[in-house]
Structure 1
Amino acid sequence: MKQIFLKTTFAILSAIIFYGCSQEPYDWSQEKPTVIEVAETTFPIVEKNSFTAETHIESSGKKIKEVKYCLYDFTWETIENKKGVPIKNKEGYYTCEFTNLAFSTTYHIEVIVYSSSSEEPVYSSVITVTTANDYVLKTGDAKNITHTSANISGEFYSETVSPSDINLGVIYSENEDLKGLIYTSNSTSIDGNSFTVELTELKIATKYFYCTYIEQSDGNIFYGDKKDFTTSIPNGTVDLGLSVLWAECNLGANSPEETGNYYAWGELNPKDTYTFDSYLYCNDGLSYDMDWWNYSYWEGLGTYGINIQLTNEYDAAKAQLGDFWGIPSINYVNELIENCDMELTTFKGINGIKFTSKKNGNSIFLPAAGYKDDEPSKATKSTIIEQGTNGYYWSGTGSSNSASDAMSLKLYDGNSEQKREIRYKGLTIRPIYYTFLNNPQ
């Protein structure tokens, strides 16, 4: 008798421990885990301004406390929340009707199920439905795509509504679900049943999602089908997946292997000699043998750590190539170094370094162009020093340690580093295209 009692007690304790630690609630009455699942949601009635949803919910164990229907518009803004009503003689079926809707409009419906033992929902399911319509709204392909603009076409047909009585336009965003930052643009021209929208001030090399829309006088908005396009990049640039685009070749060159021109820091044009005397921003009479590092000898650009990128007076790349172009700051130079693999190579007979992006695999070639220094103690006139061996490229950032120096990118032995150079020297420039002009680094 005692053994039977102990065995029974052990079995009960084992059951409590097993089911108490189970991941699923347990229905003791039917001896199986609780299951609540939305098997299917259908729309038996869909009209121009309303629809009826019908949901079949499979459950066992815990009872269903409530079924809620949440209605969202195309951009996921909440419109209305309603309780589902059980359908008589159809166990596990619930229904809900939404009215005063816009015709030919896509809505999102979230079905949320609550059990009798929890305040939190135990299941939710999302579906979409589009109301009926008495018109046709089509979204056309993007055309005339540039790096900052695109033209979107659309078509609108209706027996009851004239295009002149409504607003036609395009909604577009970088987000595929058209959530978050959304832009709208009204049509620029209407020709019969066709209309065109010009999108401007777009980001370079960026994918946009868009759809056409109409807005009636009563404020109702209806959307067409969704499409996408990607803006291009300017000619002569390479997208390395970085915050700016890099030029294919040096300033003054026509192909990647060409050296291009040499520039003293802050000067807009190349010249014959690169010395203290020939430098525009150096006091007369200063020589290499003097204490040329003294701040007082340098004019205009003598401020420590000054940045000249995107300035009309001192940025040679901007002066020669136009707006959005510029000499890179040292931060962009470092971004290039940190995000690219470097390879010492020869391209069309010219030594240099190939920078291959770790982000997208695109690459640029920087020739080992050397530098010019015509001070008598350094070299003879017109001699290019270290050409074919090393490369020196100006940045737009002055040195924070010396008024006489500016920061540069040095190429050597398949490597690169930032380096201070005296400003009068002639170095090459590899321009960049600022994709975010309002926030240069």
Structure 2
Amino acid sequence: MANISPCAFVNGEKIWSAEEGKNHFSLSKTVPIRTIYLFPEFSELAIQTDISGKADISSTVTRDLIFPQQIGYALYDDNNELKEIVYAPDKLQFNKDFKNPMNLSLDHLKHNTQYTVYPIIQHQEQEYLANPAKTFKIDLNIMTGNTTDISTDVAVCHGRIFPIENISGITYGICYGTAAPLSTENGKLIEATADEDGNFKAMLSGLKENTSYYYCAYMQTGDSFYYGETKTFQTEKEDKNDNTDDGNNTNVTQGEAIDLGLSVKWASHNIGASKPEEAGGLYGWGDPTGTHLEHGWNSSQPYYTDDRDLLQTIYGGLNAPDNITKTSRDIAHVKWGGEWRMPTKTEWEELMTKCKWEYISLSDQKIFGAKVTGPNGNSIFLPATGIRESGPNIVVQTDQQFYWTSNRYINTDDEPDYWAHIAFCSRWQPILSSACRFMGCGVRPVMDK
């Protein structure tokens, strides 16, 4: 493909005669007519881009031509590689018959890539680039959204990235911190995954109570970072006198630490209960608020979602640690404070193997559970809890207990980031099993000796 400038072919007088039906020059008679050219001339290109990755190119074309020609635009990337050619639907010969300006569109352009557009002419089965050329770039947009689900130490921040079809190879999410302006030096980054419209969210955990935070959506391409508008939110203040568990409408009463003669002391009752025989609340694993009901179990039930990244974010985090005990994701530590925490898988194993288990029924209260007696003779009571499988629906099995451990279930053959270990107890014997993290199970806290 040759790179040319428009050039004149004939510039002067010319006459036409019809002798024998042929056109020729006459030396005896001349008639002044318009100038006719071989190639057209193009005005300066006007380029309008939008967020969909589209560029509208416009130019006014002048000159009458000897031969009809196909004209359009050629697109080159920043490596000078031809990416696309678009031609006008009609050929140009006489300017009065051509629709001006020549408006054509280029689609599916990548963000942050410099492109160059040339007018192009197809003449005698060859293609020629013409002047003037023009460079442009389509910027990817990142937008900061609102904040939801704010508590004393958790908040969910929203954002949007678009055009969504141009984000291949881009890292994006939420940047947050306690000082502005935000950057990678003074802010923390949480990566996110967008839906088909470019909307995304990130859960911020481990926040300080009653504290103002700045946040913004960010994206990273190569070594460069781009930020959306900076916004603020404030975490809630913990009410030391509030004994209400919003997720279960029961009193939050710290249990007594019972020494069973094991490596840790066990609480006398469950989270969300006020005495040993109460089952307490059913919570998702890694949900420190105890309020989330989102699930991926049954699409006919309320709070269903098939967004597994969202479920992992809510329940333990996208990159949840193997053990959440005494972290900001530990509901026992968050609700009761102090040294209270969720028991580990190993500590549940110790309770199962070193203690005597008796399944009893408190007939006066119609409550079934296990009396667990330690090596030193002290005991605790583990009431049947049932399990919440989907949304607010509870599958109550009166003779079974489902209690979370603090350990994520790691099994590369079966969605390792989607499950956690549970202690499952029935009339026969207690065992360790696993459950989806969004399911609701009971929590019996422990503390170190």
Q: Does TM-score exceed 0.5, indicating one fold?
A: no
TM-score of Structure 1 vs Structure 2, range by shorter chain:
0.3 to 0.5
TM-score by length of 2: 0.38
Q: Which has the higher strand share?
A: 1
